[in-house]
Structures are given as C-alpha cells and as structure tokens.
Structure 1
Amino acid sequence: MTVPAVPPSESAAPTFDLEPDARVIGSDAEAIAIARELAAEFAPGAAARDRERRLPAAELDRFSKSGLWGVTVPKAHGGAGVSTVTLTEVIKLISAADPSIGQIPQNHLAALDAIRFAASDAQKELWFGRVLRGYRLGNAFSEAKSRHVGAFETTLTPDGEGYLVNGDKFYATGALFAHYHHIGAIGPDGKVYLAIVPRGAPGLTIIDNWSSFGQRTTASGNVLLRNVRVGPEGVIPAYLGGERPSSNGSVSQIIQAAVDAGIARGTIDDTIAFVRRHTRPWIDSGQEHGYEDVFSIAQIGDLKIRLHAAEALLEEAGLAVDRIIAEPTDEGVAAAAVAVAEAKVLTTEIAILATNKLHELAGTRSTLGEYNLDRHWRNARTHTLHDPVRWKYFHVGNHVLNGVAPPRHAWS
C-alpha cells in the first residue's frame, strides 16, 4: 500500500483558534444541512492530507465553529439537543469525506453525554456553555500499558481544594487540537472520573507520535500527566454512567459505528466514480466500458445493499439510544446496547468489504499513488479495530439466548 514516510513530530503543535466563536445550531435539519456543506468542503483535500500527514487544524476550526460539536447539548442548556439518529448522520457525512476528521469529535461527544448524565447543574452550565461557544474537548482516556482497555493506572488525588492527576495516556484522538482535555482517572474510591483540564496546564504534555498506517491525521498520540492540577468544577463522576441506567456506552459506540458507515459510503462513491471514469472492461466481457461489466455491476449492487442494511441498523440503534436518553431503564439500556452492537457488526463488515472491493472492481490503475485510494482500506482497517466485533456477536447472542445484558462501559 502507498504510505509515504512522513514521520510524526514530537514537538510541533497545530495552530488553531484558541478563542472560538461558534454558531449555535437550532434544529436537526440545520445540523444535517451544515454537515453536508462541510463534507463537500473537506472531501477534495482528504487524499492530500493523508498522503502528507497534514493535520486538519483549519478544517477542525471550521467544523467546530459551524456548531456541529455542540448539537447534542440539551435544549435546556441552550443547545439543539439533536437526536442520535441525526448525530450519526452528521458523523457519517463528515467521515465519508474524511474519516480522520469524522473520528476526532467522537470522544468530545461521548464526554458531553457523560456530563449530561453525571455532572452537577453548575458543571453542566459551565461545560455546555463553553462547548456552545466552540471550545473542543480532547481525549486523554485510554492507556497503552494497562492490563486491558478498561483498566486505568492514571490517578486522581485530592490536593487542597482541588486534585492532582498523574499518568500516561495513548490513543489520545484530537488532543492536539483541543482547548480542554478530559482525562480518565481513578479516584481515591477506586472509581473512574473524568478530570477536565485546560490546554497548556502545567504538567500536561501532548506528543504527536501517532504512526498508524490509517486514520493518519487524527493525531492520536500520547498525553503525559505529571501533577496536573484540576479544580472541582472539572471532576465528573463518570462511573455513574455504569452504575445506573444511562446512554453513555451506547453513545460512544454508535459514533464509532457511524464513522465506519461513513468510510464505507465514501469508498463506494469513489469506487463508482473511478469505474465510470477510468476502468477498462475485462477482455472476456464483450463490453466497451468497464461500467458495463455484468460482474462489476452486480458487485456494486451488492455493496449498496449491504451499506443500506448497515445504515438501517444504525438508524434503529439511534432510535434505541434516543429512547434511553429520554427514559433510561435497565431493559432499555440493554436493548440499546444490543442494537448498537448489531449496527457495529454490519458497519464494520461493509467498511472492510467495500474498501477491499474498491481495487478489485476499479482495477490495477486504482492502486497508483496519484489517486491514494488505498487510504480507504487503511482507514477502515485501522478504525474498525476499535471495540472488536467478535465480542459484539457474543453479547448479542448472550442477550438473545440467555437474557444476559451487555456490560455497561464505553466499549460495549
């Protein structure tokens, strides 16, 4: 595959607007219309950004200032409170244009759901207000060296009127572009909290050392925390989302599924465009044009059907999540987790299938570096490694067969 050797930097930080002034979106329809407009802007530069590993700071400013990063803020706090169905459509549209840009707000949006559910009224006013003005939250949650993805070694320790955070984070998607960082940390009670600190806080170091062959411009590198001070206004009892019925896990997961659906949609669109413009017919087909090849036609049809099936399950999952946001119950949370798991299975499968089929149907010319179409497979293969679908099959089957609800955490 064509992956230019552009080494990540451990010192360079992207320049972006530190005092944003975002639009406040008022409706679901407005959110989708703006997402379509932005997708059309982002798509033409996606191949070059991937090839050069050019971090999309300007695009993210445009994205968050559009108001789309604040669309899930509840109406009671001045936001649009859009449906999860609308949110997934927004993420799909952006991810079809550039899935690195589409992935970056995932943790920001998941944090907003945790704030909605677990924060105090004063904290909601503070953080929702900042987000509506255009400030971005950056992920400092997962760790590379802990026993498993849900085990944290980062600590939150009381110190005077506030707290100190210490630990090392990896997979910190979007941290380089963030105004604030939400850190997953273990408190003195052994429970998980979010600790939100400002960009540039003493003891906070962000290292752009993300070297994956896919999703190359998410800047998902390290965050180092050495006695980083956080005030009580920034400490959110995130563990409540697991102890009580909540949408926290399903919201986190459905956004990941929407990114994969967007990758599939963008790939299929590029496959069709390439076959129409460039692909020659096979010698045995008896046709004048590649797009007249009966086997190519049938396989394009198969891809579209599978994409539509995945998108239909994603919409059903969004409706299930909206139900538990409105009225969280144990039964509803389990049903939503199962629905999201089913959608995650199909969006993963169509993303991988579509990105494989692109080169098979488009032909050898499609592998040339000038097109950089292999980025679709690299992005799909990288992003679908989030939250492995082999466990989604298990949780769906265990619920159907044995009545066992999926576990409540951010990866289920």
Structure 2
Amino acid sequence: MTAQAHSLPALSTGTDYAALAARFRPIFQRIAAGALDRELGRQLPHEPIQWLKTAGFGAVRVPVEHGGAGASLPQLLQLLIELAEADSNLPQALRAHFAFVEDRLNAHASSAQDVWFKRFVDGELVGNAWTEVGSVKIGDVITRVSRQGDQWVVNGTKYYSTGSLFSDWIDLFARRDDTGADVIAAVRTRQPGIQQTDDWDGFGQRTTGSGTSTFTNAVVEAENIIDFATRFKYQTAFYQLVLLAVISGSGRAAVRDFVHETQQRKRIFSHGNAPAVSQDPQIQQVIGKASAQVYAAEAATLRAGDASQRAYLARFGADESAEREANIAAELESAQAQVAAIELVLRATSDLFNTLGASGTSTAKQLDRHWRNARTAASHNPVIYKERIVGDWEINGTEPPTVWQIGGGIKQQ
C-alpha cells in the first residue's frame, strides 16, 4: 500500500562536518582534560553537560530551518565518537536525549514538532526511564499513567535512568490505566513528584547519571503522552548505534593514551627489541593492530548509521513498502556492526596492555577504564542474540525484532 503523498517538511540531511565539529572540539578538549579526575572521584559531569547544552550540542539533528545544525545521523554518530574519545560517559548520558530528538524528527512527518524543536534548540535535554524495577514479568509494565482530578500523573519506579540526572525532561515508558495502551510520557524533571538517585554500581560508565528514578504522582501534560505505537521504527537500531559510538570512542581513547604512555616510557626489558620502547617493532605492532581494530569498529558504526539515515528519510516518502525495508535494513546493519565492533574494541583495549609493564595497571592512570567502559556499553544489548538474529535473517529471511523488553521469565518446574 502506498501512503498519500504530502509536501515534505524540513529534513536533516547533513551539513559541513568540518565546520560542525569545529564548533564542539574545543569543548571536547576541555571535557577530556577533566575525564581522569572525574573517573577517579566518580564526579558526575554536570559542568561538561552544561558546556554542551550552551553550545547547542543537543540540537545538532534539528533541521536548520528550526534553528538546529541539520546534521545527518552518521554525522551525529561521528560527533558522539569524538565526544566518547574525550569521555565515553557523556554520549551515553545523552543517548536518551538524541533518541527522543530522533522520535520527534520522525513525528514531524505527520504533525508539526516546532515546540519540541525549540526546546532542543534552547538547550533542553531529555533523560531516560524505561526499565522496570522489581519482579515485573516480561512484557508487563508496572509504571502507570492515570487521571487524577484535572491532570495526568505518573507512578512507578525505573532503573537504568541514564542521563536523567542532567535532564530537563524524562522520556518515560509507561502504561495507561484507562486504556491499557503503552505510552511515552514526556515528564518535566523539576517537580516534587520525581526522586532521582545515582545508584548505578557498574564497573564501567560510572558517571553517566544512571540509577533509580521514582515517580510519585508526577505530573505529565496530556499533550506529552505519546502513543508508543507511533515511536520511530528504527529506534532499537538507533539506541545501539549510540552505544557503538561510545564503544568506538573508548577504543580511540585507549589508543591515544597507550600511545602517550609508550612515548613517555623510559624503562625497557632486557629481552626486548630496541633501546627505547617507542622503537621496539613488537610494541609498534601492538599499537598498529589496535589502531586498525578501532578504525574498523568506527567505520562499521558509521556505515550502519547510513542505513538508519535512510530509514529516517524513508519516513517522509510515499512508499510504505520502501520504508519498511529501510527499517529492516537499519536494524540488521546496526546488529552486524555491533557484532563486529564489540569484538574489535574489546580485543584492542585489552591487548594494548602488552605495550607496558606492570606500571600500566596503576589505578592512578586508570588505563583499564577504556576496557571497562567498552565492556559495560557492550553488555546492554546481548550481542549473542544479535548474532543469532542476523544469522536467522541470512538463512531464513526472518525479519529482526524492532521492539523488545526485559523482565522476569517463566520458572521451569
């Protein structure tokens, strides 16, 4: 079936990347300068987030006609990789924001999104609250949106609320009490009914502002209750792409730091191959291989980003069949990139320790954070399932799932 053609609104099809990146690279450098201290002291990056807000980073995907930069999705990913090299916690903290922006970009195909675009351009950020806490069964949603007097309210508790501590809004997944429909409630963060806690205890990505969010009669405006069925179709691909940017940036940071340590190292081993570590061909080989592995991971991420950009553009076309195919391709390519990039970066961030002696494990240097951060980001969406999904498509043509949940399973007797 072909949808009725309509006049196209402003789209984000790309801009001059060199000029776009030049706006933010001085900020990335400032962020990188404080990354080690934030890691050592587990200091949340409130100030760096503010720098990015002020500079308009959260609006790079907003169309130029609405005050944004009009960046393509691959250009956004390239920026996130550069930001992740500076501090991989920050792009993950902004993951939910850019997903909500992407959803509003897609919604613009059927209804004007001027209000949200203006909020993004004004620097407002969106956090995340999707994952249920407790013994929720798979497919169920405990967090509820209900009518209370003349207003709508949200009640429930969420974990993995990444980025919400820095946000002005929260993209919250819930269920309506009246209809039983799943919805997105865009909730204003600064209100008495929301309690946020930085209780994320993972060994990596420790300053992403994640943790528990509790909603007790938190008010949500009726116009900000969005039917989940209208959510943009390549959303799982998009969420994975941001994680791949985090992983690729972690790999770039590891190569950068180990190169620096190698250049500065004075001590050598008697059974080494040169009077200076920097001249040792085996050390050069380790660095060279890691650099190539990270390069390939980044390239895979950006190529998969092209597929999601095509899905975004297809949303504004007049061919439903072509849009469906584009969404399938976006999901499959993000999964293929995930399988490849994770293995490459985890191998690189581990093997790089072969360039140094035991001093490379010093907690003061925190060189292990690059592996820990990549490993943590790689654990969000189990890669083993993506390997199977890609294989099932290749062999049987089985379409990949575009929405999935986590929850309690059925106990076997």
- TM bracket, shorter-chain basis: 0.7 to 0.9
Letter in 1 for 2:385: W
Taking only aligned residues, the RMSD between alpha carbons, in angstroms, comes to 2.4
Q: Deviations over 1:12-48 (max 9, x none)?
A: xxxxxxxxxxxxx975443322232222111111111
Query: Could you tell me which of 305, 325, 333 is aligned with 1:331?
Result: 325
Match of 1:11 in 2: none
Match of 1:138 in 2: 127
Contact 1:310 1:347 (C-alpha < 8 Å) held by counterparts:
yes
Contact 1:115 1:236 (C-alpha < 8 Å) held by counterparts:
no
SS of the residue corresponding to residue 231 of structure 2 reads helix
Query: Could you tell me which of 388, 391, 395 is aligned with 1:394?
Result: 388
SS of the residue corresponding to residue 239 of structure 1 reads helix
SS of the residue corresponding to residue 409 of structure 1 reads coil
Contact 1:110 1:252 (C-alpha < 8 Å) held by counterparts:
yes
Distance 1:385-1:279 versus aligned 2 partners, 3 A rule: farther
1:122 CA drift (Å): 6.9
1:183 CA drift (Å): 1.0
SS of the residue corresponding to residue 285 of structure 2 reads helix
Contact 2:246 2:374 (C-alpha < 8 Å) held by counterparts:
no
Question: Which 5+ residue runs of structure 2 have no aligned equivalent?
Answer: 1-13, 316-322, 407-413
Return the TM-score normalized by structure 1: 0.87
Listed as ranges, the matches of 1:261-300 within 5 Å are: 261-278=248-265, 280-300=267-287
Residue 152 of structure 2 is aligned to residue 158 of structure 1: no
Match of 2:6 in 1: none
Distance 1:373-1:405 versus aligned 2 partners, 3 A rule: same
Distance 1:332-1:120 versus aligned 2 partners, 3 A rule: closer
SS of the residue corresponding to residue 228 of structure 2 reads coil
1:127 CA drift (Å): 1.7
1:401 CA drift (Å): 1.1
Match of 2:410 in 1: none
Contact 2:74 2:306 (C-alpha < 8 Å) held by counterparts:
yes
Contact 1:281 1:292 (C-alpha < 8 Å) held by counterparts:
no
Distance 1:84-1:197 versus aligned 2 partners, 3 A rule: same
Q: Deviations over 1:260-318 (max 9, x none)?
A: 11001111111111112116433222411112222222222221222222122112111
Please give the alpha-carbon distance, in whole angstroms, between the structure 1 residues aligned to 2:83 and 2:116: 24
1:151 CA drift (Å): 4.6
Letter in 2 for 1:318: G
Query: Could you tell me which of 189, 196, 201 is aligned with 1:206?
Result: 196
Letter in 1 for 2:153: L
Letter in 2 for 1:370: A
Return the TM-score normalized by structure 2: 0.87
Q: Deviations over 1:337-382 (max 9, x none)?
A: 1111111222222332222123222221111232122222221222
1:112 CA drift (Å): 1.3
Distance 1:149-1:316 versus aligned 2 partners, 3 A rule: farther
Contact 1:118 1:236 (C-alpha < 8 Å) held by counterparts:
no
1:409 CA drift (Å): 2.2
- The farther-off stretch of 271-280 and 89-98 is 271-280
Query: Could you tell me which of 337, 344, 354 is aligned with 2:348?
Result: 354
Letter in 1 for 2:47: A
Contact 2:234 2:402 (C-alpha < 8 Å) held by counterparts:
no
Match of 1:405 in 2: 399
Query: Could you tell me which of 371, 375, 390 is aligned with 1:377?
Result: 371
1:392 CA drift (Å): 1.5
Letter in 1 for 2:392: N
Please give the alpha-carbon distance, in whole angstroms, between the structure 2 residues aligned to 1:46 and 1:317: 28
Please give the alpha-carbon distance, in whole angstroms, between the structure 2 residues aligned to 1:366 and 1:136: 37
Q: Deviations over 1:153-212 (max 9, x none)?
A: 211223455422111011111111111222111124433321112222232111122222
Match of 1:319 in 2: 306
Contact 1:195 1:230 (C-alpha < 8 Å) held by counterparts:
yes
Listed as ranges, the matches of 1:10-409 within 5 Å are: 28-118=17-107, 124-145=113-134, 147=136, 151-187=140-176, 188-241=178-231, 246-278=233-265, 280-328=267-315, 329-409=323-403
The share of aligned pairs that are identical, in percent, is: 31
Q: Deviations over 1:55-87 (max 9, x none)?
A: 111110001211111111234533223111101
Distance 1:214-1:32 versus aligned 2 partners, 3 A rule: same
Aligned length: 385
Letter in 1 for 2:391: G
